Amino acid sequence: MTSEPNAPGSDLLLVGRVARPHGLRGHVIVNPESDFVEDRFKAGQILLVGPEDRAEAREIREVKFHLGRPIVLLTGVETVTDAERLAGSEMWLPQAVIDPLPAGTFYRHDLIGCEVRDTHDAVVGRVTAVEGTLDRSHLVVDDTVMIPLVETICIEVDVPARRVIVNPPEGLLELYGRKVETTSTETERAEEVENG
């Protein structure tokens, strides 16, 4: 459903973070921030490594994958000491070198500012952030409400219209002190049940 996050106002997309060294020859394990791991981490790919404003270009010389994570050898990283210095570093790609996203996918930054409504058209709030790992992302609405970013809950994402429709499980919004509006039909059904 989602792809790489990027820094607001930037043309760089965050594609991963260096987790730690691997072995003794300068390889590093990467925690990917992309749904397209094999496309982003391939031999010959030039990544910008480090903080966005000071990232250094490094070419991937070797890559292999283990449990869905890339293990890469980058230019200029020859020893375990060099690799240790990169631990925690962000890995970026310019947006211009990335192919357009497939239908039904979007960048996390595209969701920020979208209005969130429930299936009854009641406003829940606005997306202020998207947090979590790619497989466990959640929308942060009005800086407080966290809604899992999964297709069964976020049933419609319309980036051009700046709108997300959610069908939250019972009690989710109430956890955050949000009052859930019910339609008159739901109220009538509830009264019928009570009156039996």
Q: Is residue 89 domain-shared with residue 133, that is, in the same domain? A: no
Residues 6+ apart with CB under 8 A from 190: 182
Q: Is 103 contained in some domain?
A: no
Contact assessment for residue 140 and residue 127, using Cβ atoms and an 8 Å cutoff: yes
Specify the number of domains making up the chain.
2
E strand or H helix that includes residue 70: strand 69-74
Q: What is the pLDDT of residue 158?
A: 92
Gap between the Cα atoms of 145 and 139, Å rounded: 8
Q: Is 13 helix (H, G, I), strand (E, B) or coil?
A: strand
Q: Which two tokens stand for residue 65?
A: 């994958």
Cα–Cα distance measured from residue 127 to residue 147, given in angstroms and rounded to the nearest whole number: 10
CATH number at residue 80: 2.40.30.60
Side-chain half-sphere CA neighbours of 87 within 13 A: 7
**CATH, residue 150:** 2.30.30.240
Shared-domain flag, residues 136 and 62: no
Structural domain harbouring 22: 12-97
180 in any annotated domain: yes
What are the residues facing 20 on neighbouring strands?
Answer: 29
Please give the Cα distance from 112 to 123 (Å, whole number).
16
Domain identity same for 51 and 80:
yes
* DSSP-derived pairing of the beta strands 115-118 and 163-166: parallel
Q: Which of 73, 97, 121 is the last residue of a domain?
A: 97
pLDDT tens, per residue, the chain with 196 residues: 555 555 544 688 889 999 999 999 999 999 998 878 898 999 999 999 998 888 999 999 999 999 989 999 999 999 999 999 999 999 999 988 887 777 777 878 789 899 999 999 999 999 999 888 777 889 999 999 999 999 999 999 998 899 999 999 988 988 888 765 554 444 444 444 455 5
pLDDT at 190: 45
What is the spatial distance between Cα 97 and Cα 194, in angstroms, rounded to a whole number? Answer: 60
